[in-house]
Each structure stands twice: as structure tokens, then as C-alpha cells.
Structure 1
Amino acid sequence: MNITLNKKQAIAIASIAAAGIVLAALILGTGKSNPAPAPAAKAEAHAEKKDEHGHEAVEGRLELTAAQSRAAGVVIATAAPGRIQTTVALPGEIRFNEDRTAHVVPRLSGVVEAVQADLGQLVKKGQVLAVIASTALSEQRSELLSAQRRLSLARSTYEREEKLWREKISAEQDYLQAQQTWREAEIAVQNAQQKLSALGAGSGGKGPLNRYDIRAPFDGMVLEKHITLGEAVKEDANIFVISDLSTVWAEIAVPAKDLATVRMGGKAVVKASAFDASAQGTITYVGALLGEQTRTAKARISLLNPDMAWRPGLFVTVEVVSGEADAPVTVHSTAIQTVEDKPVVFVQVKDGYQATPVVLGRSDGKLTHIKQGLAAGTPYAAQGSFVLKSELGKDAAGHEH
């Protein structure tokens, strides 16, 4: 019985093997008669990633009509040769223009009777900042008044003696003596007036002789105030600091290797670190000595500051042009976007734009050198490229769904 079962099993196994051989032959025959289409499919897929200029596409072509392009703010330019400036960027800080910053001192001791300026206030030249009652000033003005009265008397005496001398009534010696006294009285008045002028005080007019008005030396802003009502101040007390902020300095530390680039009279671009602002200024000073610790030289750039945007203490970056170089293919820096972590330029093609990968060279912020990926004469989106990038992202998201 066991022998019979083994024979049946052997027959079944042989039948399965024979069927497998036949099936394999059929499959091999089919493969020979119909070649695999995979290479053609790959070539077609690869062809789909090329535009009419032969540029490789990152995520395909973006179709936009002319009206849609205008609505998106797209401006077309042509890749062309250009000259790119190379710059040196140095950190700096905005500081007061020390040539237009004054430490106001009373020049006379006294007691504060009034304070008419506050911190941060804009003042005009000659505006009263504070009033001081000074005994020293009272004495100076009294001296002037006495000298003026002596001068008036001396002039009258001289005129009388001159008349008597011409009429042969009095001696010439009396006339000459009166003339000498008159000249000395004039000198005394001039001396008293110059003392008051040096103090910045007038004769006092009809007001109190001890009133001393402290005035602003020029238009500016009150940066410091060290004076209060009723306080006794000395003649050399630093009671106000006023600075004219219509011009400021951008001060930088220049390493020895960059001293050949940063030169007096050169132009520099100052950019704020805290907000988007830039301005062009002139290098007005470059230090002749290097610091012992820093091994750098100080330099400063003078900036116009009409809107008071450049505040002292603000950190800035100063870019100084160090040279220029010609590039065979350049585009506007605003045209460059990043797609799939690659820099691209949106090239204008039929019925739309193609995101074209490029290899970037040097840039001066306005123009960028394109080393590879773009030929001179190629039209591209110089402005509005960010909108095109956004639209391209929307298309990609739509295809995924």
C-alpha cells in the first residue's frame, strides 16, 4: 500500500515540474517578442524636464498669461554682461558728530532761578536753556555802567576844554589832559563790554544786573541735563550736553589688511542692523595708528541725518568698495530664488516661465554673476520672481493631491 502511494506522489511531482517548464518557455518567448519600454519611458521623463532652451526644470514649467504676469508685478530683463563691485563689510556704530556736540557750562557761579529745557528737547541757536542769578555778573555789569558814565563825563570835559583852547581861554595842557582822560574812558568801556561778551552776557538792559541767561550755542537736541531749580552751580559745571544730530558719524574698526581699501574721501554704504535702512556717506577720517590690543585703526563716515533715523548707539554694517570686475553673464539679484534648496532664475518661455537652476558667482547686491545655467541674452523675471515661486509651489501641491 505504501509503495502505491509513493508512485502516485512521484507522478504528481513530475506533472508539476513539466508544467513549470512549459510556463517558463512561454514567458521567455513573450519577452523576446516584446522589448521592455523602460529606457524610452526614462528618456521621455527626462525630456519632460527640459524646456525649449534646453534648461533643466526643478519642478516643471509655470504657465502664466501676459495679463497674469503683469498683475503679479513681473518685470522681464535680459541676462547680459555686467560689472560687479567687490566690497569689504565692516561692523560699526553710530556716534555723535563730536564737531557738533557741545558741553554747556555757566562760566559764572550762581544760583539757578529757572530751567527752560528738558532732555530730548530740540532747541534753536540762542534759545534760553536756564537762568542763573550771579553776583559776579552783577559786578561786571556795574563796572560797565560806571565806565560808561565816566566816558560820558570825560567826553563832555574834552569838548569843553577843546572849545576853550581854540578860543585861547585855557591852556593847551588842559585840553590835552581832557583828551587823554576821554581816551582812557573809552578803553575802560570797551574792556567791560568784552568781559561780558566773553561770558555770553549782555549789559543787562533794564532787567536785574545779576540775571544770567544760558543760551544754546547752536541748533540741536538736549542729550544730557545736570541742573535743577534752586541749585548752586559752579562756573565750570557741565549742566547741558547738546548735539546737532542733523549729521552723525558711523565709526568702524579697520583691520590692517583693509587699510588700503578704506581711504579718506572714499564712499561707503552704511546699513542698519536693527531695521531695513541704508545711506551713503563719505569717509572723513582714518586713524594713522593701530590699537595695541585690537590691531585695528579707527575710521569714521559722515552721514546726513535729516529724519533723525540714525541714532547714536545703533549698530551698523559699513560696506566699502574695494574693486570692480567684469562678468560675462549677470542678472538682477532680485531675480534669484531658492527652489528645492537650489538657486534658480525664472526664465521666460512660451506661455510661462521655467525655474532654471543656476550656479552663482559674486554679487554686489544689485547684480549677481551667473557662472552656469544661463546664457547671455536669455529673458528672465527680474522683478516679481517671489510671486512666481509661490505660484510654482501651489502647482506642485495641487499635483500631489
Structure 2
Amino acid sequence: MKIRQILPALTAMMMIVPLAACGGGAETTAEEGKSAEPEKGPNRGRMLRDGDFAVEMTIFEDGVPPMYRVYPSRDGKPVDPKMVKLTVTLKRLDGEINRFAFKPEGAYLAGDGVVVEPHSFDVEVVAVENGKRHVWKFANPEGRSKISAAAAKDGGIEIETVGPAVISDIREVEGVVQLATSARSEIRAQFPGKVMLVTKAVGDYVKKGQLLARIESSESLQVYPVYSPVSGVVAERNANVGNVAIDQPIYVITDPGQTTVVFNIFPRDLGTIRPGQKVDIETLDGQPIAASVLGGYLPEGNAAAGTALVRASVPNRDGRWRPGMALHGRVTVNAVTVPLAVRTEALQRFRDFTVVFANFGEDYEVRMLELGRKTPEWTEVLSGIKPGTRYAAKGAFLIRQDVEKSGASHDH
């Protein structure tokens, strides 16, 4: 298969060239820079010839795991498989080596193991027949591309390493900003009496210790000051000069920095959304605000909407989030750490498989995956790639496009 750079400006390409066979174990290299489609045999396999002796290499996978079947022949006529001793050695891009011994089964020699995907490797075939040793070596790349570091950077390809990750489900909830219960302070007269002075109006900002009012005690007739015990904004002023202050609050002061979001939880989610779970708070258009933790369910629900209510604190030092504003929440539920996961955006389609592209320097090669749980961020991997393998986490679609343009084959 041709291996080409993915970016149009990079026109250099690499050709994987098969090696010719020579009897008695001698090996010669085909002329570099030229390539040809391998000869196919009657069983649609690759023909390897050495003089009048030949073997047809096939990988049989109709309804079974892929395994080698090799058909020996001489001058185009079948040779009894019992008369041939055969071994196949595969060397993969990551350095893994697979060796297969063979035994006769009917008209062919059957390999003793599964040929794991991808079927991309350098192959060495050794056959001994009638006392003569035949050796073939050839490259069998599949789903592979070569990309320089500069081209990968320009194309937005980013590399990560396969390893453990936290997989969790997300529940979407909607909520409304409210003041925290601790954000409201009611300021009362210490002793009943006539209001002689008020200094603040609704909406004014008050610092802790500032003078709010002066009251003439009805018993002592002495005038005493009333100071603010907190900093905040005047939400209510319930007294004017000349009024008599008894037990009603003179002022209600609120701290706009102490806000919460009260989320509506529908009945279908009551079994999964619980106090203590993480919630990511966002604006309605998806802009992140803060990460918080759900508190306990409130005693009363939202009767009009038929929902339960749960509260989460939200930072609001600049007073941006006003009571009554609507916000969005993403609650993390059923979180579990899995031993192997890849970024979900790294997943691509290749033939009938879902794959990622493993990275080995400037080389990229498909890894066919068996997948488990999936979220927008992470996908669990059950098999198909080794822990610690580097892979294209971003920009993988560019690699796939290059592989498809180069005519990726499944050559058996």
C-alpha cells in the first residue's frame, strides 16, 4: 500500500516494496522506487514463487477468527501439505513479533494461531520441501500513513497515551439563581423606640460597621446607633424617620456574592442524581461558569413543574449572577475508573471497524478496537490496543483521509 503525506503541500511519498525470494535461503531486494500488485492465486491469496515451487498465502476469516491457510504447489500443481514444513514470522510496527507454525489440513497448511488485526506487518515465510529451503520476505502494510512532525503540527494532530480514565454519564438539568440562605441579614433595633435617622436606601452598598440608623429608646429616651453587622446590598428598608421601631427589621441586607443555583430534578432522574455529585454549571449558551457539588434535596419541590429541587453553590464575587437568572447544569453520575480508554473524538471508521491511529514517530497505523462505555469525552477500550500506546487524540480524521486516498487494502 502506498504511504503518503496528508497535506497537499507535501508531495513526497514512501513506497513499501516487496522483497523477492531466492531458493536455498538467499534473499534479494526488489528495485527501490517501483511497486507492483502482488500476484494472486486461485484462492485469492498472495503467490510467493521460488523457481518452480510456490506457496499461496491466505488469511481465512469467514465466520472464524483470521488464521493463515497456505497452499503449496509446484509447476502449478498442488503439493501434498504433509511434505512441506512451514513457518511464518510477522514483525509489527510497534516491535511485536508473531510466529506461526503450520500443520497439514486437507489441501492446505493451517497456522496455529489467530492473525490479530491490523494485518499490517513485515512478513518472513520459510518453507522446507524436498530438502530445499525457500525464504520470502515482503511488507504488508495496512491502514498506515507517514506524516512528518511539522505536517502533523500544522494539521492539528495531537498525541496522547492510552491509559486509565474516569467514565461517567451526564445528566442535563436546568436551574435558577437564588441567594444562599446565609446571604440574608435582618437588622433590628436593639430597644424599641422612635427612628431619628436612617442613612441608607434600597440598593445602596453597605460595609460592615457602617452607621445605618439612630433610635431613641422609648424607656431611657437615649439615642443609640445601629451599625451594620455585615457587608452587602440593602434589599429592604422598613423604617423612616419618625417611625417607631419595635420588632420588624429596619433593614434587610443581602450579600450578592453568596448565591446558589436551585436545579429542577425530574422524577426519571431521582434514582441517579444524588447529593454530593459533581455538577458543572454553565450559561444557557454553554459557557462554563464553575464546578460545584450538589447539596441535599430541598424539603419542598416545584409543584408547578412536578420536579424536586436541589441546591448547588456558585461563585459570584462580581455580582454577575442575579437571583432569578436561569443557568444550566451537567451532573456527573455513575462515575467509574476504567483501566483503558481513549478520547472519543479520536475514534474513526476503517473498513468495518472503529479504530484509532497509533503513533510511532512519524508513522501512524490503525488499531481496531472493541469498545465499552462511551461519553462525549472518553470511550472505554476492551481490546485492540496496548496500554501505554501513543495515539492521535486530535486530528485523526486527517490520517484516515490520507489512508483512504492511498487505497488502504486488506491484502490476504
TM-score normalised per structure 1: 0.49
Compare CA radii of gyration and give the structure with the larger one.
1
| Greater length-normalized contact order (CA 8 Å, ≥ 6 residues apart) | 1
TM-score normalised per structure 2: 0.48
